[in-house]
Amino acid sequence: MKTYLKRPLYWRDLVKRGFRPFIIILSLLLFLVIISLPTPSGLSNQGQISIAIFVVAITLWVTHALPLMITSLLVIILFPLTGVLSSGESYALFGNEAIFFILGAFILASGIMRSGLSTRLALLTLRFFGRSAKFLILTFLCLSAFLSFWMSEHAVAAMMFPIVLEVADALQLRPRQSNYGKALFLAMTWGCIIGGVATFLGGARAPLAIGILQQTTHQTIDFLAWSLAALPMVMLLLVASYFLLIKLFPSEIDKIDNAHAVLKKKQLRLGHVTAREKGLGVLMLLTIATWIVFGTRLGLANIAIASVVIAFVFQLLDWKEVEEDVNWGIFLMYGGAICLGFAMEGTGAAHWLAEKSLGPFVHSAFGLVAALAIVSLFLTEAISNTAVVALTMPLALGLASDFKLDPRVVTLALTIPSGLAFQLPMGTPATAIAYSSGFVRLWDTVLSGFLLKLIAFALFIASILFYWPLIGFHL
């Protein structure tokens, strides 16, 4: 099988080429300048220090001058060192429920991938539903989206990539020249991205946003409510993305018999369904059902961790595999982001900064929601979606109180669009994987991704105006 891997250029690559010391010094100077200025009217001294720390976090998170997790650790210690929070308050935020929920979800996802269950489901679906060239595109799109409902979209993209690559090789598609090849890889990518915003399990941003919401307002959004709010837009966006793919990249092939032969051989190599696959499949179904029915009463994190314990009791998980698969650093990122949000809200810095930045341009609750959606929709192309949530949630919650807007609506309006990074490879690993295949040019992702973003924004606004009030999320 041929491979056409081409590594995209990231911000962190530029930083490694000599900008890191400059950026670190710049962030330190910005911190010192801000805290030495006279405290503005309407802002406390602690609020001023919080904004200085916020600026440091923005600078380092956006540029990757330090790893995201190390920046978060810096945030954690700066608040007690400057007297904004006590050490106990700052470090206690690592115990937020959102962190343990995503920990449990990541561990379960490791077992599902390692056992081969996710690959088996993917191959079965593709064999039975990909009967024509166009239908195969639709199948890749919908399958990637469905899998991203239940596991990280990044993991789904990594799992689906070799399957798409084998199909492209079997069909003898030419990199960069084959429209059908572009459509296949973008279908996989867009499916992962769109499906990833449908539930808490598709990525880190949703649990992070819920954690900040809980910590600052003591309100929450449960698993079912989040999915109900996102699913209609997700379904319509999948339909729109399919038609966009077949219009922008008209297929040059009709028959895909060779692809079916490859998929059949790959399925045969998996052998029979193992006891581990069956056990993990049943456990995951029960876990999801419990999240939906008893999530509010029992706690999402408690259910996730209980499922992990059960999986180890019945030897469905292996700790060595878990250690290799789980990105442990993401939990440090969470702790710093939640701490930043808590301090910004508690000191009044978030409210003051939001009034000074977005306040003059936003004059209604709808205007605020639309502005947040646009900002997160395009900012996520430059920095990770978790960083978008971490940086903008405190400001968004600060403005929500001015318009007497339900903070849950603000959370959804900011977080769902932040996951839709269709354009640039640095926006999300799913897009980077498609670009690295060699079949997709940067211009392909930029143009088609921009059109899909416009459709996504229109569908999102329609959901907010006409659908969300029906399920209890009012402007």
Helix (H) or strand (E) run with residue 158 in it: helix 153-170
Higher pLDDT, 288 or 68: 288
Would you state the structure tokens that stand for residue 185, as one six-digit string? 């890889």
382 located within any domain:
yes
Q: Which of 119-128, 168-177, 337-346, 393-402 is the least confident region?
A: 119-128
264 located within any domain:
yes
Contact 61, 337 (CB under 8 A): no
241 located within any domain:
yes
Query: What average pLDDT does the segment 380-404 reach?
Result: 79
- Residue 79, classed as helix, strand or coil, is helix
327 located within any domain:
yes
User: If you ran DSSP here, which 8-state letter would residue 173 be given?
Assistant: P
2 located within any domain:
no
Query: What average pLDDT does the segment 122-145 reach?
Result: 81
Higher pLDDT, 402 or 138: 138
Q: Which residue from 159, 161, 124 is spatially nearest to 139, judged by alpha carbons?
A: 124
Residue with tokens 């330190």: 28
Burial class (CB in 10 A: 0-12, 13-18, 19+), 416: buried
What confidence tier does 2 reach under pLDDT thresholds 50, 70, 90? Answer: very low
The pLDDT of residue 461 is 94
Query: What average pLDDT does the segment 455-461 reach?
Result: 95
Q: What is the DSSP string of 214-257?
A: HHHHS----HHHHHHHHHHHHHHHHHHHHHHHHHHS--S----H
Q: What is the residue-averaged pLDDT of the chain? A: 83
- 115, pLDDT greater than 50: yes
Domain that holds residue 260: 11-471
**Residue 382 backbone dihedrals phi, psi, to 5 degrees:** -100, -35
Q: Tell me how many domains the chain contains.
A: 1
Helix (H) or strand (E) run with residue 276 in it: helix 275-298
First CA to last CA across the chain, in angstroms?
A: 53
Q: Which of 339-348, 352-361, 452-461 is the least confident region?
A: 352-361
The pLDDT of residue 3 is 41
87 located within any domain:
yes
Q: Which residue from 187, 206, 104 is spatially nearest to 149, judged by alpha carbons?
A: 206
Burial class (CB in 10 A: 0-12, 13-18, 19+), 250: exposed
Query: What average pLDDT does the segment 404-412 reach?
Result: 91
Instruction: Give CA separation, 285 vs 117, 129, 135, 437, in Å.
Output: 13, 23, 28, 33
Instruction: Give CA separation, 162 vs 1, 4, 170, 421, 432, in Å.
Output: 10, 11, 12, 22, 14
- 129, pLDDT greater than 70: no
Query: What average pLDDT does the segment 421-433 reach?
Result: 76
Question: pLDDT of 156-185, one tens digit each?
Answer: 887 788 778 778 877 788 888 889 889 999
Residues in the chain: 475
Return the number of other C-beta atoms located less than 10 Å from residue 224's C-beta.
15
Question: pLDDT of 243-262, one tens digit each?
Answer: 999 999 988 887 777 777 77
390 located within any domain:
yes
Count CA atoms within 13 Å of residue 111 on its CB side.
28
**What's the distance, CA 22 to chain centroid?**
30
Based on DSSP, count helices (H) and strands (E) in the chain, helices before strands: 23, 0
Apex 113 CA angle, 333 and 383, nearest 5: 30
Contact 238, 193 (CB under 8 A): no
What confidence tier does 389 reach under pLDDT thresholds 50, 70, 90? Answer: confident
User: If you ran DSSP here, which 8-state letter would residue 39 be given?
Assistant: P
Q: Note the pTM of the prediction, 2 decimals.
A: 0.73
Q: Which residue from 145, 98, 122, 65 is spatially nearest to 430, judged by alpha carbons?
A: 145
Q: Which of 80-89, 185-194, 264-273, 274-283 is the least confident region?
A: 264-273
- 317, pLDDT greater than 70: yes
Query: What average pLDDT does the segment 274-288 reach?
Result: 90
Count CA atoms within 13 Å of residue 156 on its CB side.
33
5 located within any domain:
no
User: If you ran DSSP here, which 8-state letter would residue 16 be given?
Assistant: I
Q: Which residue from 272, 12, 1, 382 is spatially nearest to 161, judged by alpha carbons?
A: 1
Q: Which residue from 420, 418, 417, 423 is spatially nearest to 440, judged by alpha carbons?
A: 423
- 425, pLDDT greater than 90: no
What is the b/e burial string over 179-190, where b = at least 16 CB atoms within 10 angstroms of the residue's CB? bbbbbbbbbbbb
Instruction: Give CA separation, 167 vs 47, 162, 241, 318, 418, in Å.
Output: 56, 9, 21, 31, 31
Query: Residue type for 66, please?
Result: L
The pLDDT of residue 12 is 52
Q: Which of 1-5, 174-178, 329-333, 460-464 is the least confident region?
A: 1-5
- 5, pLDDT greater than 50: no
Apex 183 CA angle, 179 and 185, nearest 5: 120
Rg of the chain taking only CA atoms, in angstroms: 23
**Residue 422 backbone dihedrals phi, psi, to 5 degrees:** -90, -15
- 237, pLDDT greater than 50: yes
